Amino acid sequence: MSRYWSPFVKDLVPYVPGEQPKLSELTKLNTNENPYGPSPKVLEVIKAEATDALRLYPDPNSDVLRHAIADYHEVSIEQVFVGNGSDEVLAHIFHGLFQHNKPLLFPDISYSFYPVYCGLYQIPFETIPLDESFQIRIEEYRGINGGIIFPNPNAPTGCFLALSEIERLLTVNNETVVVIDEAYVDFGGESAISLVDRYPNLLVTQTLSKSRSLAGLRVGFAVGHPELIEALVRIKNSFNSYPLDRLAQLGAAASFADQDYFEQTCNAVIAERNTLMTRLAALDFQVLPSAANFVFCRHRNRDASELAASLREDGIIVRYFSMSRIDQYLRITVGRPEDSEVLFASLQRILAAT
């Protein structure tokens, strides 16, 4: 802390990202990255764009990319906003679309960046408990609010809420913006983008970090009514007009053109997730149903933080949250089959030791 800091910065509680270790030989199952690389077509486009043209600013509106997303999701380009990772898109939503005089509602167990943005933008919030099986109870979201947000599938649970439930919420909550954060939807969920034409207060966010294996490129987007998008553009152009560089815009657009690769890699992750869940259950873990590229599980009689520490000693990192209700759970990213082999060899050794 320095005497030059503003009082505001002194009180900020920032987000703590999952560890990005410098050692490459670790089995990294802690930040839900895709174990398969991006489409080779994306890499080709990025390499071709790495030219003298980098001296020029990129398109501030990312039109090529927004067109690609609009075509893919069958919406108009005016319904699409893009940002530097969906985290940036979410930040602008918190800033520009949630009311700052009434509490924002989100689940008690959810993406841990939401309370951080509330702190940054001075938004009051209320957390709504998931039920005892960690499912979202939509009827609890009916109170006065300045907006509603939750991930679907939820993180870190992986549980998916049916679109009919989201629609049930939208029919009663039409005074404030409802945001569905679909960072993991491509691994088995169903997107609420199909509802945006009917609900002008619905905004859906997605990322290219997970299912399109582009976490390092930093691209996310929102789809919703053009008036919601216009608010985000106003915020963007008051903050950073060029959030996406030339490589990111073209590389991201190219990923929407390689549907075969996208499907193949998503299917490989889904197949491995199902194997992982069965094998964890056989080792006495309780595993929540998952529609994401990670599983959330607890061992019936071993302490989760000790398990995470023992795995770490074997060079395997998983995510552990020291938080009420979930401090006995581990979140394990789905890797390649060979990553699972390393994980299970270690788990078997740890569980066999008394």
Ligand X SMILES: Cc1ncc(COP(=O)(O)O)c(C=O)c1O
Per CB under 6 A, 290 contacts ligand X = no
DSSP string, 178-247: EEEE-TTGGGT---GGGGTTT-TTEEEEEESSSTT--TTT--EEEEE-HHHHHHHHHHHTTT-S--S-HH
Q: Using CA atoms, how far apart are residues 199 and 178, in angstroms rounded to an integer?
A: 9
Closer of 334 and 347 to ligand X (Cβ): 334
Shortest Cβ distance from residue 181 to ligand X (Å)? Answer: 5
CB of 154 to ligand X, least distance (A): 8
Is residue 87 within the footprint of ligand X (CB under 6 A)?
yes
Rounded to a whole number of angstroms, the CA Rg of the chain reads: 21
Out of 77, 120, 215, 351, point to the residue binding ligand X (CB under 6 A).
215
Query: Which of 217/297 has CB closer to ligand X?
Result: 217
Task: Give the footprint of ligand X on residues 13-32 (CB under 6 A).
Answer: 32
* SS3 at position 342: helix
C-alpha neighbours within 13 Å on the C-beta side of residue 302: 23
The interface mask with ligand X, positions 94-123, x = CB under 6 A, is -----------------x------------
Q: Which is nearer to ligand X, 213 or 346 (CB)?
A: 213
Backbone angles phi, psi at 183, to 5 degrees: -55, -30
What span, in angstroms and rounded, lies between the C-alpha atoms of 128 and 111? 13
Provide, rounded to whole angstroms, the least separation between the CB of residue 218 and ligand X.
Answer: 7
Q: Is 195 in the site for ligand X (CB under 6 A)?
A: no
Residues binding ligand X: what is the number (CB under 6 A)? 13
Using CB under 6 A as the binding rule, the residues of this chain from 67 to 86 that contact ligand X are: 85-86
- Candidates 46-54, 207-215, 250-258, 330-338 — which segment interacts with ligand X by CB under 6 A? 207-215
Closest to ligand X by CB, 215 or 268: 215
Do residues 177 and 228 touch, judged by C-beta distance below 8 A? Answer: yes
Nearer to ligand X, 103 or 153 (CB): 153
**Contacting ligand X (CB under 6 A), which of 152, 157, 207, 290?**
207
CA-nearest of 16, 129, 72 to 262 is 72
The answer to whether the bond into 156 is cis (omega within 30° of 0) is: yes
Spell out the residues 6+ positions from residue 118 whose beta carbon is closer than 8 angstroms to its own: 94, 104, 124, 125
Residue 153, preceding peptide bond in cis (omega within 30° of 0): yes
Cα separations in angstroms, 291 against 118, 151, 152, 184, 321: 27, 12, 9, 8, 20
Q: Report the nearest approach of ligand X to the CB of residue 86 (Å).
A: 3
Taking residues 169 to 188 in sequence order and writing x for each that binds ligand X by CB under 6 A, - otherwise, the string is: ------------x-x-----
Residues at the interface with ligand X (CB under 6 A): 32, 85-87, 111, 151, 155, 181, 183, 207, 209, 215, 220
